[in-house]
Structure 1
Amino acid sequence: MGVVVVAAGSGTRLGADRPKAFVELVGVTILERSLRGVLAALPDEVVVVVPPTHVDETSALVEHLGESGSRISVVAGGAERTDSVSAGLAELSEGIRWVLVHDAARCLTPVAVFERVLAALRAGVVGAIPGVPVVDTIKVVDTGGVITETPLRETLRAVQTPQGFDREVLTAAHAAGAAATDDAALVEALGHDVLVVKGDHRALKVTTPEDLVRAERLLSELP
């Protein structure tokens, strides 16, 4: 199993003076926390995708993490998320069958979430992603802000990462060149079913200063 860790975001919404993954969360960068969680899942390979300006810094971080049993490499990302994931996929060894794509910004994701996604792939699905039930009522609106639909809350999930796929299917999905906010949407566009497995509230995505505060609070609650 290989993991592509996407850490190429700019961090603009976080209001940081550096890429988001290199912002510290209680004294440790978001990227380092994320990588420690990824390595706990015991992948065969990890590819870390970062801004071109931070390849050397990330390579030093990888060395700092020490021996893990996983092959770890660092590559430069692209202008869009899909470009960055494609760069990570291209770096994986040919023998990798399953690929998990993980946002470094979800740096507190428990290893159990990785294990559930991988278990679904091993059971035969071509795609599996974690998700949690939506607690708010969601409204669909038109361009003028008028409500056009109220979907059943029971059918909705807020999805997270890691998102896992058969490597050939994911590669084909990226080669198709569609635009999407996550990899599951690309695979769905090819007509494949993607299973949602149980996610975890700790797998929040650090995007805004408020998210950083929430992550700090979660860390303070951990044993």
Structure 2
Amino acid sequence: MGALAVLTAAGSGSRLGANLPKALVEVAGTPIVVRAAQGLAEAGCSGIVVTAPAQALSEFRALLTPHIPGYPEVKVIVVPGGVSRQASVAAGIAALTEVSAKESVAEDTVGGERRVVLVHDAARCLTPAEMIKRVITAVESGLNAVIPALPLSDTLKKVGASYDLSSGDGDSFSVQEVVDTVDRTSLAAVQTPQGFTLETLRQAHDYGTERAGDEAVSATDDAALVEALGKKVHVVLGDARAMKVTTPFDVQVAEIFCAQEE
């Protein structure tokens, strides 16, 4: 029984300077969303729900459905994303029955095996299969929520309010005062895919929906919703290749990675 995945791809391409959705931008000749889906398939996912911009559903479906290029055994559907990442993931969860037998998404275990659901950002399109497998294996071993992360190498500073300074040529720039130096030894930079048991992910999003107006439940990833439930989240080692492609510079870096893999 393969894992299921929700692949979020509803972001715009504004920061990439593109006139099309970010996930349709190509890296080394292949659209970002296709690369991300292929990585999930290579790691053993049996079904993938892609959340895409409502106005571009036909373009995404032409690329991905009914199967990903090179992976005819993996079923893929494309559904409209929501107004936020959290809403998009919720839409993906609701559509999981369409990429798996209905009985397999009605229960948290199937045939004695845990039903693993991944939530992945399409922008992390070069995430290697071996990292994804680490997340899947950790959930299958008995953990309810698992995220990949990397240790931090930069010195971290907490800064205060900003103010502007003017340069001699008439330009201005922002300056902030350092308030404190943060101990980085207990911090990590989180990546995706994040893995959960189906029941844990559903409970987390139900709770997030119920508390949508509560700042204490404002979450930038799915693991934060699980934390808000009071459940434990565990970390496995991430990978530098799981970088997020959001700017033209990121595309250039990603293409260097691709060239090294060839």
Give the number of equivalent residue pairs. 223
Deviation at 1:153, TM superposition (A): 1.8
Partner of 1:130: 148
Tell me, yes or no, if the aligned pair for 2:6 and 2:117 is still in contact at 8 Å.
yes
Q: 2:243 aligns with which of 204, 208, 212?
A: 204
Deviations 1:6-62 (A, max 9, x none): 000012211111110001112111111111111111212110110011211111112
Partner of 2:194: 163
Task: Report the TM-score, using the length of structure 1 for normalisation.
Answer: 0.94
Equivalences for residues 23-172 of structure 1 within 5 A:
23-63=25-65, 65=69, 68-93=72-97, 94=102, 95-96=104-105, 97-144=115-162, 145-172=176-203
Q: CA RMSD in A?
A: 1.6
Tell me, yes or no, if the aligned pair for 1:98 and 1:167 is still in contact at 8 Å.
yes
Deviations 1:109-164 (A, max 9, x none): 10001100011101111100111111001122344544444332221111110000
Q: Residues 210, 67 of structure 1: CA spacing in aligned structure 2 closer, same or farther, 3 A cutoff?
A: closer
Q: Residues 142, 193 of structure 1: CA spacing in aligned structure 2 closer, same or farther, 3 A cutoff?
A: farther
Q: Which runs of 5+ in 2 are unaligned?
A: 106-114, 163-175, 209-216
Q: Residues 66, 59 of structure 1: CA spacing in aligned structure 2 closer, same or farther, 3 A cutoff?
A: farther
Deviation at 1:3, TM superposition (A): 0.4
Deviations 1:49-98 (A, max 9, x none): 10011211111112462653222111000110001000000001252422
Q: Residues 68, 42 of structure 1: CA spacing in aligned structure 2 closer, same or farther, 3 A cutoff?
A: farther
Give the whole-Å Cα distance in 2 for the aligned partners of 1:38 and 1:2: 9
Q: Which moved more, 1:109-118 or 1:59-68?
A: 59-68
Task: Report the TM-score, using the length of structure 2 for normalisation.
Answer: 0.81
> Which structure: greater strand fraction?
2
Tell me, yes or no, if the aligned pair for 1:110 and 1:203 is still in contact at 8 Å.
yes
Give the whole-Å Cα distance in 2 for the aligned partners of 1:205 and 1:68: 27
Give the whole-Å Cα distance in 2 for the aligned partners of 1:42 and 1:167: 17
Give the whole-Å Cα distance in 1 for the aligned partners of 2:129 and 2:185: 26
Paired letter, 2:62: A
Residue identity over aligned pairs, in percent, reads 47
Tell me, yes or no, if the aligned pair for 2:38 and 2:71 is still in contact at 8 Å.
no
Q: 1:17 aligns with which of 13, 19, 22?
A: 19
Q: Residues 136, 25 of structure 1: CA spacing in aligned structure 2 closer, same or farther, 3 A cutoff?
A: same
Give the whole-Å Cα distance in 2 for the aligned partners of 1:210 and 1:98: 34
Q: 1:186 aligns with which of 216, 225, 236?
A: 225
